[in-house]
Amino acid sequence: MTLTLYDAPRCPYCARVRIVLAEKNVEVDVVEIDLSDRPAWLYEKNPSGRVPVLEEDDRPLPESAVIMEFLEERYPEPALLPADPADRAFARLLIFRDDELTDPYYAFRRGEDGAAEGFDAALRRFDSALDERPFLGGAEYGLADIAYVPWILRARDMLGVDFEPYPTLAGWLERVLERPAVAAEAGIVAAL
Ligand SMILES: N[C@@H](CCC(=O)N[C@@H](CS)C(=O)NCC(=O)O)C(=O)O
Protein backbone atom coordinates (compact mmCIF):
# COMPACT_ATOMS: atom_id res chain seq x y z
CA MET A 1 0.00 0.00 0.00
CA THR A 2 1.34 3.47 -0.82
CA LEU A 3 0.29 6.59 1.01
CA THR A 4 0.91 10.04 -0.41
CA LEU A 5 0.18 13.39 1.19
CA TYR A 6 -0.28 16.42 -1.04
CA ASP A 7 0.84 19.01 1.40
CA ALA A 8 1.76 22.64 1.95
CA PRO A 9 3.85 23.63 4.99
CA ARG A 10 1.94 26.84 5.63
CA CYS A 11 -1.49 25.20 5.47
CA PRO A 12 -3.09 24.60 8.90
CA TYR A 13 -5.46 22.00 7.46
CA CYS A 14 -2.44 20.05 6.20
CA ALA A 15 -0.91 20.48 9.65
CA ARG A 16 -3.78 18.46 11.12
CA VAL A 17 -2.91 15.55 8.86
CA ARG A 18 0.84 15.89 9.47
CA ILE A 19 0.24 15.72 13.24
CA VAL A 20 -2.04 12.66 13.06
CA LEU A 21 0.42 10.85 10.77
CA ALA A 22 3.25 11.63 13.20
CA GLU A 23 1.22 10.52 16.23
CA LYS A 24 0.49 7.21 14.54
CA ASN A 25 4.03 6.88 13.22
CA VAL A 26 2.78 6.37 9.66
CA GLU A 27 5.23 6.80 6.79
CA VAL A 28 3.98 8.79 3.79
CA ASP A 29 5.40 10.14 0.57
CA VAL A 30 4.97 13.89 0.66
CA VAL A 31 4.33 15.96 -2.45
CA GLU A 32 4.64 19.64 -1.67
CA ILE A 33 2.16 21.82 -3.51
CA ASP A 34 2.94 25.44 -4.33
CA LEU A 35 -0.37 27.06 -3.42
CA SER A 36 0.37 30.12 -5.56
CA ASP A 37 0.90 27.93 -8.64
CA ARG A 38 -1.10 24.77 -8.17
CA PRO A 39 -0.65 21.98 -10.70
CA ALA A 40 -3.67 21.25 -12.89
CA TRP A 41 -3.59 17.58 -11.88
CA LEU A 42 -4.42 18.51 -8.28
CA TYR A 43 -8.01 19.24 -9.43
CA GLU A 44 -8.34 15.62 -10.52
CA LYS A 45 -7.54 14.56 -6.95
CA ASN A 46 -9.69 17.25 -5.34
CA PRO A 47 -12.09 19.27 -7.51
CA SER A 48 -11.69 22.28 -5.20
CA GLY A 49 -7.93 22.25 -5.85
CA ARG A 50 -7.25 22.43 -2.11
CA VAL A 51 -4.78 20.65 0.08
CA PRO A 52 -4.49 18.45 2.03
CA VAL A 53 -5.23 15.40 -0.09
CA LEU A 54 -4.20 12.01 1.22
CA GLU A 55 -3.96 9.30 -1.40
CA GLU A 56 -3.98 5.66 -0.43
CA ASP A 57 -2.85 3.76 -3.51
CA ASP A 58 -4.90 5.47 -6.22
CA ARG A 59 -7.75 6.74 -4.02
CA PRO A 60 -7.39 10.44 -3.23
CA LEU A 61 -9.14 11.72 -0.12
CA PRO A 62 -9.53 15.46 0.51
CA GLU A 63 -10.85 17.35 3.59
CA SER A 64 -8.67 17.37 6.67
CA ALA A 65 -11.42 16.39 9.13
CA VAL A 66 -12.34 13.36 7.00
CA ILE A 67 -8.67 12.44 6.55
CA MET A 68 -8.12 12.56 10.31
CA GLU A 69 -11.04 10.18 10.85
CA PHE A 70 -9.81 7.90 8.06
CA LEU A 71 -6.36 7.71 9.66
CA GLU A 72 -7.94 7.01 13.04
CA GLU A 73 -9.75 4.02 11.56
CA ARG A 74 -6.94 2.80 9.32
CA TYR A 75 -4.31 3.09 12.08
CA PRO A 76 -6.21 2.73 15.36
CA GLU A 77 -3.12 2.92 17.58
CA PRO A 78 -2.59 5.12 19.43
CA ALA A 79 -6.26 6.03 19.68
CA LEU A 80 -6.96 9.73 19.14
CA LEU A 81 -10.70 9.58 19.78
CA PRO A 82 -12.14 8.59 23.17
CA ALA A 83 -13.65 5.15 23.63
CA ASP A 84 -17.12 6.26 24.67
CA PRO A 85 -19.48 7.18 21.78
CA ALA A 86 -20.79 10.28 23.56
CA ASP A 87 -17.23 11.51 24.13
CA ARG A 88 -16.36 10.74 20.51
CA ALA A 89 -19.40 12.69 19.35
CA PHE A 90 -18.33 15.65 21.50
CA ALA A 91 -14.84 15.67 19.93
CA ARG A 92 -16.40 15.45 16.46
CA LEU A 93 -18.77 18.31 17.25
CA LEU A 94 -15.83 20.52 18.18
CA ILE A 95 -14.10 19.66 14.93
CA PHE A 96 -17.31 20.26 12.96
CA ARG A 97 -17.56 23.74 14.49
CA ASP A 98 -13.95 24.74 13.83
CA ASP A 99 -15.12 27.88 12.03
CA GLU A 100 -15.93 29.37 15.44
CA LEU A 101 -12.17 29.84 15.71
CA THR A 102 -11.01 29.85 12.10
CA ASP A 103 -13.45 32.52 10.82
CA PRO A 104 -12.33 35.08 13.45
CA TYR A 105 -8.70 34.02 12.85
CA TYR A 106 -8.87 34.70 9.10
CA ALA A 107 -10.78 37.96 9.63
CA PHE A 108 -8.04 39.06 12.04
CA ARG A 109 -5.32 37.96 9.61
CA ARG A 110 -6.98 39.99 6.85
CA GLY A 111 -7.09 43.01 9.20
CA GLU A 112 -10.85 43.45 8.88
CA ASP A 113 -12.62 46.09 10.97
CA GLY A 114 -13.48 44.75 14.42
CA ALA A 115 -11.58 41.54 13.77
CA ALA A 116 -9.17 41.96 16.70
CA GLU A 117 -12.16 42.03 19.06
CA GLY A 118 -13.76 39.07 17.29
CA PHE A 119 -10.60 36.99 17.53
CA ASP A 120 -10.13 37.99 21.16
CA ALA A 121 -13.70 36.80 21.89
CA ALA A 122 -13.01 33.49 20.14
CA LEU A 123 -9.82 32.97 22.14
CA ARG A 124 -11.68 33.77 25.36
CA ARG A 125 -14.31 31.14 24.53
CA PHE A 126 -11.50 28.67 23.84
CA ASP A 127 -9.87 29.61 27.15
CA SER A 128 -13.15 29.11 29.07
CA ALA A 129 -13.83 25.75 27.42
CA LEU A 130 -10.48 24.54 28.70
CA ASP A 131 -11.35 25.59 32.25
CA GLU A 132 -13.59 22.56 32.36
CA ARG A 133 -11.20 19.92 31.02
CA PRO A 134 -7.46 19.53 30.33
CA PHE A 135 -7.85 18.81 26.63
CA LEU A 136 -10.42 20.08 24.17
CA GLY A 137 -12.14 16.74 23.75
CA GLY A 138 -12.04 15.85 27.44
CA ALA A 139 -9.59 14.09 29.73
CA GLU A 140 -7.26 12.90 26.98
CA TYR A 141 -5.35 14.56 24.15
CA GLY A 142 -6.77 13.71 20.74
CA LEU A 143 -8.22 14.75 17.41
CA ALA A 144 -10.03 17.82 18.77
CA ASP A 145 -6.73 19.25 20.04
CA ILE A 146 -5.00 18.37 16.80
CA ALA A 147 -7.80 20.01 14.82
CA TYR A 148 -7.33 23.39 16.53
CA VAL A 149 -3.67 23.65 17.46
CA PRO A 150 -2.48 24.60 13.92
CA TRP A 151 -4.33 27.95 14.13
CA ILE A 152 -3.18 28.57 17.70
CA LEU A 153 0.46 28.05 16.68
CA ARG A 154 0.05 30.28 13.64
CA ALA A 155 -1.70 32.97 15.72
CA ARG A 156 1.24 32.96 18.13
CA ASP A 157 4.11 32.71 15.68
CA MET A 158 2.80 34.38 12.52
CA LEU A 159 0.30 36.92 13.83
CA GLY A 160 2.18 37.73 17.05
CA VAL A 161 -0.76 36.97 19.34
CA ASP A 162 0.20 36.97 23.02
CA PHE A 163 -1.68 34.32 25.01
CA GLU A 164 -1.04 35.96 28.37
CA PRO A 165 -4.71 37.11 28.58
CA TYR A 166 -5.77 33.49 27.99
CA PRO A 167 -3.90 31.54 30.68
CA THR A 168 -5.90 28.33 30.41
CA LEU A 169 -5.36 28.25 26.66
CA ALA A 170 -1.64 28.94 27.24
CA GLY A 171 -1.48 26.00 29.69
CA TRP A 172 -3.22 23.75 27.17
CA LEU A 173 -0.76 24.82 24.45
CA GLU A 174 2.15 23.92 26.73
CA ARG A 175 0.59 20.51 27.35
CA VAL A 176 -0.02 19.73 23.70
CA LEU A 177 3.48 20.95 22.76
CA GLU A 178 4.80 18.12 24.92
CA ARG A 179 3.66 15.82 22.13
CA PRO A 180 6.59 15.40 19.69
CA ALA A 181 4.10 15.50 16.79
CA VAL A 182 2.85 18.95 17.83
CA ALA A 183 6.36 20.19 18.64
CA ALA A 184 7.42 19.15 15.11
CA GLU A 185 4.56 21.22 13.68
CA ALA A 186 5.65 24.19 15.81
CA GLY A 187 9.06 23.80 14.15
CA ILE A 188 7.44 23.93 10.69
CA VAL A 189 5.56 27.11 11.65
CA ALA A 190 8.72 28.72 13.07
CA ALA A 191 10.48 28.12 9.75
CA LEU A 192 7.73 29.64 7.58
N1 LIG B 1 -11.97 22.23 4.17
C2 LIG B 1 -10.63 21.97 3.69
C3 LIG B 1 -9.89 23.31 3.61
C4 LIG B 1 -8.51 23.14 2.99
C5 LIG B 1 -7.94 24.50 2.57
O6 LIG B 1 -8.62 25.53 2.59
N7 LIG B 1 -6.68 24.46 2.16
C8 LIG B 1 -6.07 25.67 1.66
C9 LIG B 1 -4.63 25.83 2.10
S10 LIG B 1 -4.56 26.13 3.83
C11 LIG B 1 -6.04 25.64 0.15
O12 LIG B 1 -5.74 24.63 -0.45
N13 LIG B 1 -6.33 26.79 -0.43
C14 LIG B 1 -6.31 26.95 -1.83
C15 LIG B 1 -7.61 27.52 -2.30
O16 LIG B 1 -8.47 27.87 -1.49
O17 LIG B 1 -7.79 27.63 -3.49
C18 LIG B 1 -9.93 20.98 4.62
O19 LIG B 1 -10.30 20.91 5.80
O20 LIG B 1 -9.04 20.24 4.15
* Closest atom of ligand 1 relative to the 35 alpha carbon: 14
Q: pLDDT value at position 19?
A: 98
**Domain membership flag for residue 95:** yes
Q: In this structure, how many other beta carbons lie within 10 angstroms of the beta carbon of residue 46?
A: 16
Burial of 14 (0-12, 13-18, 19+ CB in 10 A): buried
64 CB less than 6 Å from ligand 1?
yes
**Are 105 and 155 within 8 A, CB to CB?**
yes
Whether 158 is in a domain gets the answer yes
Q: Is residue 99 part of a domain?
A: yes
Q: Is the same domain home to 18 and 66? A: yes
State whether 152 and 180 are in the same domain.
Answer: yes
**Which among 53, 74, 95 is the end of a domain?**
74
Residues 105 and 184 in one domain: yes
- What is the span of the domain harbouring residue 102? 85-190
Predicted model pTM: 0.97
CA distance 136 to 169: 10
Ligand 1 centre distance from Cα of residue 50 (Å): 4
pLDDT value for 66? 98
Residues 47 and 140 in one domain: no
- Tell me the per-residue pLDDT of 114-135, one tens digit each, with 9 for 90 and over: 999 999 999 999 999 999 899 9
Same domain, 69 and 91: no
According to the model, what pLDDT value does residue 98 have? 98
- The answer to whether residue 80 sits within a structural domain is no
pLDDT given for residue 151 in this prediction: 98
Q: Which residues are bridge partners to 138 per DSSP?
A: 135
Residues of the chain with pLDDT under 70: none
If asked whether residues 39 and 112 sit together in one domain, one would say no
Tell me: do 89 and 183 sit in the same domain. yes
Same domain, 105 and 150: yes
| Top mutation candidate among 6, 7, 13, 20 for ligand 1, by most atoms within 8 Å of CB | 13
Cβ of 63 below 6 Å from ligand 1 = yes
Query: Which domain-ending residue is among 39, 74, 109?
Result: 74
Q: Looking at the structure, do residues 7 and 100 belong to the same domain, yes or no?
A: no
Q: Verify that 141 and 120 share a domain, yes or no.
A: yes
- Looking up residue 179, the CATH number of its domain turns out to be 1.20.1050.10
Q: Are residues 96 and 169 in the same domain?
A: yes
Domain membership of residue 24 (yes or no) is yes
What is the CATH classification number for the domain harbouring 70? 3.40.30.10
Looking at the fold, whether 101 and 154 belong to one and the same domain comes out as yes
**In the prediction, which pLDDT does 132 show?**
87
Domain boundary among 74, 97, 130: 74
Tell the residue nearest (CA) to atom 5 of ligand 1. 50
Q: Is residue 68 part of a domain?
A: yes
| Structural domain count, the chain | 2
| Residue 166: per-residue pLDDT | 97
Question: Would you say the CB of residue 19 lies under 6 angstroms from ligand 1?
Answer: no
Q: Distance between CA atoms of 177 and 171, rounded to whole angstroms?
A: 10
